Amino acid sequence: MEYELGLAALTFFFLLASLFCYSWIVVLGNSKIRTEPPLPPGPYGLPILGYLPFLKHNLHHQFTQLSHKYGPIYRLWLGSKLCVVVSSPSLIKQIVRDHDSTFANRDPPVAALVATGGYDIVWTANGPYWRDIRKLFVREMMSNTNLQASNVFRTEEVRKLIGNLDTQIGSPVQIGELIFLTELHVLMSLLWGGEMDPTERSRLGDKFRVHISKLVDLLGKPNVSDFFPVLARFDLQGIAKEMRGVVVEVERILDCFIDAKVKSMAAGGGMEGEERSKDFMGILLELKDKQLGEGSTFGLTQIKAILVDIVAGGSDTTATMVEWVMTELLHNPSIMQKVQQEVTNVVGANNVVEESHVSKLHYLEAVVKETFRLHPPLPLLVPRYPSESCTIGEHTIPKGSRVFLNMWSIHMDPHAWENPLQFRPERFLNDNSEKFDFIGNNVEYLPFGSGRRVCPGIPLAEKMVMYLLETLVHTYEWGLPEGQKIDLSEKFGIVMRKETPLIAVPYHK
């Protein structure tokens, strides 16, 4: 009897101790939970699929609407990917400035990995290799000295554009296509030093344009493999297969250029490398088989990845933005007249437009900036990928989540911009000209991002967009084909293009 009572007492003691320990663990756990910021709020989705079935065509518009309901930072599951959307200048500042190193990685889509192997400037993770190739690009291709030295290539291609348009006076032309081809030829000259036969370069350039356009489209195409990485091996939509086909064609063209450059360098005999190869392609080839980063071998795979990056990013984005600016000018005739008057005052009515005039065209610059605000080329920028969990505002952004910075939402925010839906270039004149630049110094205006992952090609893009526009508005009067109206609708993608290409008619002044 005493044994049974003792056993019962012992059992009761253990139960009481277990209950006490459990209660203490719960208290400690709740205390720990309370001390760690929670995940951002967000909409519920379906099991497994998350919010994927509810996504709409223009994602930047939908993300902005969701921010009105859930706040300036919210989360949503897209398949197995946890995504965080940020649409507040103060919170974006924390990401691109205060925690820039944490958010300096990318979350490349499958299509990008197929296109470049992860060896390019845009998608490569932050690290020694990425820092080396970015420094190389900025130092050797984007420096003021090299941009000034390559002015002859840009002038030559813009003159060819005018010659082409002179044969089409009074006829409808597709602005984006013309600018794309012009910018592509400029980039090819910058990369290869203009050493190739012009006829051969033009022939290959036409082929290049078709494949590069397809490549950019595939990069922005929604892919189930990106939302469910476990399914990537099956390539259910065939995007990886299609991209591999495009890459094969692109590499065939690159091989032609590379072979021509190798022969040209070999013909240089005993000259030193610096004298023999002033262009970027020659510099890349001289680095072939050397070590970059922490022991990474720099070979043809890496060279081609960087070339694809430069050509795709430079030509498509520039053509898209010139097309948007011309669209807004045709939609706002009074602003077109102001731009034409400024260019005439600076250049002279009968003089030839030069790139050197660009620095004096302040109103045209304001028009370009206002176009970038209304139609940012990358409305959600390039998604970021935190290398560790981080607190932004009052919420935790977990390591490995996909972070979208909704710059379109900020550019449309009435708290940041007066009458944001209006096209008003004057907002970028006077003191605001320097306040809102293209390199991300003001978090309310980041058309090309900010921090260490800001677009490194801004100096060339800015020169080309301005030079092309000053030439177009100074040389011709522009109108629309009979019976057509301006269409301002957008087509969401990795680059935000017009839904319908701009068709315009040039006339002699």
Name the token pair of 116.
């470049």
Contact 353, 473 (CB under 8 A): no
Give domain 36-508's CATH superfamily. Cytochrome P450 (1.10.630.10)
State how far the alpha carbon of 343 is from the alpha carbons of 140, 165, 221, 425, 469, in Å: 32, 19, 39, 16, 10
Label each residue of 337-368 as H, E or C. HHHHHHHHHHHCCCCCCCHHHHHHCHHHHHHH
The SS3 call for residue 330 is helix
Name the token pair of 141.
């291709």
7 phi and psi angles, rounded to 5 deg: -65, -40
Contact 389, 397 (CB under 8 A): yes
The pairing of beta strand 105-106 with beta strand 384-385: antiparallel
Name the token pair of 226.
């990106």
| Nearest-angstrom CA–CA distance, 507 and 201 | 29
Model pTM score: 0.89
Amino acid at 454: V
Domain ranges of the chain: 36-508
Contact 133, 292 (CB under 8 A): yes
Instruction: Classify residue 300 by burial, with Cβ atoms within 10 Å: 0-12, 13-18, 19+.
Output: middle
pLDDT given for residue 220 in this prediction? 87
**How many Cβ atoms are within 10 Å of 120's Cβ, its own excluded?**
23
The SS3 call for residue 388 is coil
pLDDT given for residue 131 in this prediction? 93
Mean pLDDT for back-to-back runs of 10 residues, the chain (509 residues): 33 35 38 71 96 94 97 97 97 96 94 94 92 92 88 93 96 95 88 69 76 90 94 96 96 87 72 51 86 76 92 90 98 98 95 94 97 95 95 96 97 95 95 84 94 93 96 97 94 90 96
Length of the chain: 509
pLDDT given for residue 32 in this prediction? 42
Instruction: Classify residue 11 by burial, with Cβ atoms within 10 Å: 0-12, 13-18, 19+.
Output: exposed
pLDDT given for residue 295 in this prediction? 61
The SS3 call for residue 81 is strand
Task: Give DSSP secondary structure letters for 433-450.
Answer: HHHS-SSSSSTT--TT--
